[in-house]
Structure 1
Amino acid sequence: MKTKLLLFLCLLVFILLFLGFALPLRGASAAPHAQFVTATPGPDGRILYTVVDGDNCGQIALIHGIAVTQLRQLNSRLDQDCTLTVGQQLVVGVVSNAPTAGPAPTLPPATVTATPVSGTTEVCVLLFNDMNGDTLRQETELGIEGGAVSLTNLNGSYSQTQNTSSAVDPDTSEPIRTCFVDVPGGEYNISMAVPDEYNPTRLLSRTVTVKAGDRAEVSFSAQSKTLTVSEATEPQQGNRSSLLGIFGFLLLLGGAGLAYYAYRSGQPKSKLKGSPLMKR
């Protein structure tokens, strides 16, 4: 009878040990498939989140399936401690949907400066890498290679297309713009097509009026799609794996206790128990 009880306890310990190792591995492999529902993107493709009481950067990143480092990239104005205020709006993602008509960020007007050229104008366009998604160019945000920009007069008398460049002026360290020269004065539509691996963060069409002898500068922006992939599920995987690991350790500890109890139960009782020697 004791032998059967010992075998049963050993079998139970083996099952508990197996579950203790298998559950953390299974939970870790399933973690990358976690998905979270995010807010509806705005007309410019950006997904915004409004901070409420009790929020922190780690919680917001976890809810929207991104890493804290990516949240910082999308919101360059966050300080080193990632301090948040109630009502603050954060960019938590950018989708590839083309912008539609409606409310959009206030864009800086096209810069027009006088030049000594007589009879024609010059229109220079820049497509820059909007790494933080705020639609404003920072010093570290340079040009994007491979975009296609078209300049068309509204009366149909002029139409040209050129490719954008990522080159930098060695003297000023500023990105080199794509320029249309000897352009007759008038009202023009400027349209931009971004490379496939980028999402636009501004409207892709602008209208500008230039006069002969002027030089117009217009900027467009786009953000790399690699910033919106699900690499940011790593924090979720790490948290879930840690919890399952602790649960597995507790199972191992319980199994060790049962094994010790089974070992003690299987030991023969002392023959001295109840003898006159034990009563002395």
Structure 2
Amino acid sequence: MKNWNTLLIGFFLFTLVLVGMTLPSLRVDAAPNQQGFVTATPGPDGRILYTVVEGDNCFTVAAKHAITVDQLRQFNTRLDENCTIIPGQQLIVGLAAPVTAPTAPATATPTPAAAAPTPFDGTTEVCVLLFNDINGDALRQSDELGIDGGAVSLTNINGSYSQTQTTTSAIDPDLLEPVRSCFTKVPPGRYNISMAVPDGYNPTMSLTYTLEVKAGDRASVDFGAQAKTVTLQDPAVEQNSGRSPVLGIVGLFLLLGGLGLGYFAYRSNQPQSKLKGSPLMKR
């Protein structure tokens, strides 16, 4: 009985050893089957690619990636009617978002403090020019500069503001333009501008002007005057022969009259023939 128990225990231990030796071989044999399917991963362009292995067909590939055969055909438009695939062929089995390179986090740029605005006093500026209107066309040309000695006044129509300045012929060296007489810090409103030209000039346009200015505006008004000594250029007399055509005609008539008188005198002094009226003249 004791030997029987020993035999059973030995058989049990032998069986355990045999089973233990068999399990590693089973695991080694199962490894190739597990490596037959490789999980597809998205590429940089977002396409999920699968490489066909031996024994694959459209149904097994679609099943491996949880899609339908129709979806597989939509991803791979070059498949034929029989959905023929060969080992090594790459198939698109899905689409994912394209892989983008990581970007550096945006850093906050400190905003420079805004410059304090210039206080606005709510006034305006009116500048006036009296220019030498050389050609008298009431339009200022680039070569028509300012006139000294004119008097310009700016008066509000309600009488709340009135100032007077003198015009000048100075030139701004930076702008190369005539210097204007400017009234600064003028309150908004409606104003009359009056100009008095200096002696020796005649105005070429109206010497009064009315304008309305608003806060912040800068108005500019021009007046023209022409020197009294400026005269229109006399038309040049054509000097071809130095003689008047009327005198030539009169001389021609006198010449013809003289010739006629000479011819008449010549005929009067000729002797008459004594044979006139005789029978010899009648033939």
Larger radius of gyration: 2
- TM-score, normalisation: structure 2: 0.41
Normalized per residue, which structure has more helix? 1
- TM-score, normalisation: structure 1: 0.42
